[in-house]
Amino acid sequence: MTLYTSTVVTPRKPSRVWAKIGENTAYALGLPIILLVIWGVWSSISPAPFFPSPLVIFDAFIDTWVGPAFFNDVLPSLGRLAISIVLAVVLGIAAGTVIGLVRWLRELLEPIFEFFRAVPPPVLIPIVAVLVGANDTMKVVVMVTGAIWPVLLNTIEGVRSTDSVMTETAQSFAVTRSERLRYLVLPAASPRIMTGVRQCLSIALILMVISEMFFSSSGLGYQIVFFQRNYLIAQMWSGIVLLGLIGVLLAVIFGFVERRVLRWYHGVKEVERA
């Protein structure tokens, strides 16, 4: 007689869920608060012109970015950043899926990918500016050129490493190519794809700032360089703080999307841990 066992996952109690949320919040906010307190005490004991206190930076933040600069510099930068991320993700997933499925194409393009991946995107700014002009298109092209690689390469590896047994089983059941792509290949590659998207976000944010430091008269990166050149130290630090807050916002949005895209994946991990 064969015995079948099953793992029963009991739902967490609401009190435990709220306790876990409180614990995660304390971990997330505890260290930054401690660092701010240390910074404030140190700046009051030993004032330095290039390291103003957090209160001074906060005042500069309100005066600088809460007003016309938010609409003239921050929003256009965020718009270009959003467009670049969407293009990098869509193009990276589409091209990576095709290359991952076609073996001869993957072997043909691999040396070329290794070459262009090693080229730092900032060195392409003068070339792109000559080709397309010193405008918003140049900034978007630079961001897409650098941010697409993690998505593209992770998609290729994720598609290539699809379980062969499941692929052969789908073929034996006469599953169409489009159905295999939708229900097997892309779900199997989605954890690797989301890893590439996470890296894409940070690279795009960095390139947003760098692209606005050249051939630009507006944008968040331009303003930070402007403040630095004119010795407006508190305003410069406020721009750096704003970049950090944008990075945190991107991380929160990515975590929200990832939990829904990879809901099945995290569910399997929960069952395995249980």
pLDDT in tens, 200-219: 999 999 999 998 888 788 88
Look at residue 1 in the predicted model and tell me its pLDDT.
40
Look at residue 167 in the predicted model and tell me its pLDDT.
75
Look at residue 150 in the predicted model and tell me its pLDDT.
92
Nearest partner of 125 among 215, 206, 205, 199, judged by Cα: 215
Distance CA 1, CA 243 (A): 64
pLDDT at 272 over 60: no
Which sequence spans correspond to the domains of the chain?
A: 50-273
Nearest partner of 268 among 171, 180, 187, judged by Cα: 187
pLDDT at 110 over 90: no
Tokens of 254: 């990515």
Region 16-31: mean pLDDT is 65
Write the pLDDT tens digit of every residue in 159-205.
Answer: 888 877 777 777 777 777 788 888 888 888 889 999 999 999 999 99
Look at residue 13 in the predicted model and tell me its pLDDT.
56
pLDDT at 82 over 90: yes
| Cβ contacts of 190 within 8 Å, gap of 6 or more | 158, 261, 262, 265
Region 119-133: mean pLDDT is 84
Distance CA 214, CA 47 (A): 33
Q: 50-273: which CATH architecture?
A: Orthogonal Bundle (1.10)
For residue 8, name the pLDDT band (cuts at 50, 70, 90).
very low
Look at residue 6 in the predicted model and tell me its pLDDT.
43
Distance CA 157, CA 162 (A): 9
Between the ranges 32-36, 51-55, 204-208, where is the mean pLDDT highest?
Answer: 204-208
**Environment class of residue 200 by beta-carbon count within 10 Å: exposed (0-12), middle (13-18) or buried (19+)?**
buried
Residue 176: CB atoms within 10 Å: 9
Region 97-114: mean pLDDT is 88
